[in-house]
Amino acid sequence: MKKTYLTGIKPTGVPHIGNYFGAILPAIEIMKQNKFKCFYFIADYHALTTIKENKALKELIFEVACIWLGCGIDPKKVVFYKQSDISEIFEITTIINNITPKGLLNRAHAYKAVVDETKEKGLEQDSLVNMGLYMYPVLMTSDIITMNTNFVPIGEDQKQHIEIARDIVKAFNKNYGNVFVMPTEIISKNASLVLGLDGRKMSKSYNNIIPLFESEEKLKKIISQIKTDSTLPNEPKDKNSTVFQYYKLFATPSQIQDFSNKFDTGISWAQAKNELFNIMNNYLSPMRKKYNFYKENPQLVDEILIQGAKKARKVAKQTLLLVKQSLGVK
């Protein structure tokens, strides 16, 4: 029997190439291996901690769905759904709240960061904390355990969330029997490797991103804005530059070697950026075309998510039934 692999993405902004190489591409590669039962979901209720306007959230949910489908997620090979469509997740959240120590959540990095911020502003400790933020690790745990998840891909900064999930699973299983599967994290080594336009890690908060499916015209303009040094056209260029690092993401080994030679012998930054645009655009164009197809067919996207939710709820209902039986309420 195949083990379960689960990943989710919060619809809190337009996905960029850092998201693609850090999360979406690894998920596609796992799907293609056909070794796991894959659950890929849009974490729309998690987004409520930051997105407060309903129109914006609806648009972002649709955008994320189109991007994942455009990148190659096959709804016939994975269970692709919205978190909000699986009511069992939230019932299980309520249940595991009752065995989750407050002290465990007090140590959560995101919560502590907001507490520190309030202290710096001279405010009461929890005045900027909503319960969605505070209980975020519990809901994430429920996302995982409801689908009997074995493996969860995460960035290094999310490792604590899996540690909390494991603590909750241990506590529940100790009290009620071997009900939940113990999840294991898979640390994504690529998540922090994609640089932004300014040389820092690509992040929406830094406003240094390259959106994944910009038009050719906009993509070319964005690439022209990448920061470079002042070396002359006939001088060797730094291969640690953002331009070269981007090129390596999209090119074949032979193309990378050819580009490397040009950096050694001297290439103008304008020419280097033009070659980067060509290699990126050739890579992204087929996916962009598919993405635009889904954007133009919202009913199809809705139907894919509905069918995915039906598959996910079959698993969720079985998990919830087992949980209720273990509690003695069923």
DSSP state of 16: B
3-class state of residue 32 by DSSP: helix
Among 35-39, 140-144, 208-212, 319-323, the least confident range:
208-212
Q: And the tokens for 83?
A: 């978190």
Looking at domain 3-193+298-327, its CATH class is alpha beta
Tokens of 80: 């692709």
Residue 310 tokens read as 């039906």
Q: What is the mean pLDDT of residues 143-158?
A: 91
Contacts by residues 255-262 (CB-CB < 8 Å, ≥ 24 positions apart): 255/279
Contact 11, 63 (CB under 8 A): yes
**Mean pLDDT, residues 169-177:** 97
pLDDT one-digit tens code per residue, 181-223: 999 998 866 545 688 888 787 877 788 889 999 999 999 999 9
C-alpha separations of 70 from 34, 110, 127, 222 in Å: 19, 31, 41, 21
Q: What DSSP element (H or E) covers 291?
A: helix 269-295
* Secondary structure element (H or E) that encloses residue 314, with its range: helix 298-327
d(CA 94, CA 88): 10
Encoded tokens for 6:
């689960």
| In the chain, where the domains are located | 3-193+298-327, 213-291
Contact 194, 202 (CB under 8 A): yes
**Total residue count of the chain as it appears in this document:** 330
Region of 100 (left: φ > 0; alpha: ψ -120 to 50; beta: rest) is beta
CA distances from 63 to 29, 42, 60, 70, 295 (A): 21, 11, 5, 10, 8
DSSP state of 83: G
What pLDDT score was predicted for residue 195?
80
The predicted-structure confidence for 8-59, as pLDDT tens digits, reads as follows: 999 988 889 988 998 899 999 999 999 999 999 999 999 999 899 999 999 9
Q: What is the pLDDT of residue 189?
A: 63
CB 220 within 8 A of CB 270: no
213-291 homologous superfamily: Tyrosyl-Transfer RNA Synthetase (1.10.240.10)
Map tokens 């190439």 to a residue.
17
Lowest mean pLDDT among 61-75, 162-176, 202-216: 202-216
CA angle (91 as vertex; 87, 95 as ends), nearest 5: 165
The continuous run of DSSP H or E covering 187 comes out as strand 184-187
Residue 170: pLDDT above 90? yes
End-to-end Cα spacing for the chain: 28
What number is the average pLDDT over the span 258-284? 96
